[in-house]
Each structure stands twice: as structure tokens, then as C-alpha cells.
A = this chain, B = another copy of it.
């Protein structure tokens, strides 16, 4: 199964809707088609999971014991900022205002395919992050991450 890749910029209309990139839609598996979970990401961006991938996360959460303090804290603060959505008939995703504000998204959103999920950025935030990453340090990171992994695989 192919993962999401590529970068796509689309405008957000007055109702908070964004077109879902056609190229990414073609990658969706039939069982997940049209259904997504959107939530706060680790950087100031949003994560968009197709429902089949999100199910794995839910299964993991379901295993957490809610009668311990840590369990409750994890579940509450993780699920709080997550919400389910479907594409409308024009293949658009509605972005709820509280997530848009949090991610600094206003008139434009950038979709970045990132394997099993999709990231949604505001152009400004993305630029900031980019500014802090030179090509040289990217090379280093790449070697570090990919290097380790291939070592593990051996």
C-alpha cells in the first residue's frame, strides 16, 4: 500500500473548507475513503489520518486503563483535540475554527503527504520551521535516521 507524499497548497474559503488534494485522494484505500480524523500535531500543524490508519491509534488508546491518573490524562488530552470528518461532495474538508486558530491557518493551507498520515500547515509556520533547517543539517538528520534504520534491519 502506497503512502502519502507530495506538497499541495489550497485556499481556505470563508466557511473554513479546503479542497482535499486529488492526488492524495487517489492514494486512499477504499475502506477509509472519505473518512478522516484531524487533530493537533506535534509541530504547530494538524495531522490528518485516514480512518483505517486512525483505527490503529484508537485500538492502542482503548488498551489504556482509565482508572489510573496517567491513563485518564493521556486519553483526555490526546482525544480532546481530535475530531472525525468526511469529505463533502466536492471533496473538501471542513476545518473547525479552534484547530485553524491553533495551527495559525487563515486563508491558505498546505498539505504535506507524510507516509501514513497527512500534515496540514499554515504557510507562515512552515516557513519558520524551514528557516531553522539548513540543507546541511537536513543531510545530517537524514543520514542519522536512515542510517540507524538500515543498521537495525541488518
Q: Which residues of B contact A79 (CB under 8 A)?
A: 3-6, 112-115
Contact between B3 and A112 (Cβ–Cβ < 8 Å)?
no
A72 CB to nearest B CB, Å: 7
Known: A3-B62, A57-B146, A58-B3. A133 touches B81 (CB 8 A): no
Q: In the bound complex, what is the Cα–Cα distance between A141 and B58 (angstroms)? A: 14
Q: Which residues of B contact A3 (CB under 8 A)?
A: 58, 61-62, 79
Q: How many residues of A contact B (CB 8 A)?
A: 56
Q: Which residues of B contact A78 (CB under 8 A)?
A: 141-142, 145
Known: A57-B146, A78-B142. A23 touches B72 (CB 8 A): no
Contact between A60 and B149 (Cβ–Cβ < 8 Å)?
yes
Highest count of chain B CB atoms <10 Å: which of A6, A74, A81, A133: A6
Known: A6-B83, A79-B4. A60 touches B145 (CB 8 A): yes
The chain A residues found within 8 Å of chain B, CB to CB, are: 2-7, 23, 37, 40, 42-43, 56-58, 60-62, 64, 66-67, 69, 72-84, 98, 112-117, 119, 133, 138-139, 141-146, 148-149, 152-154
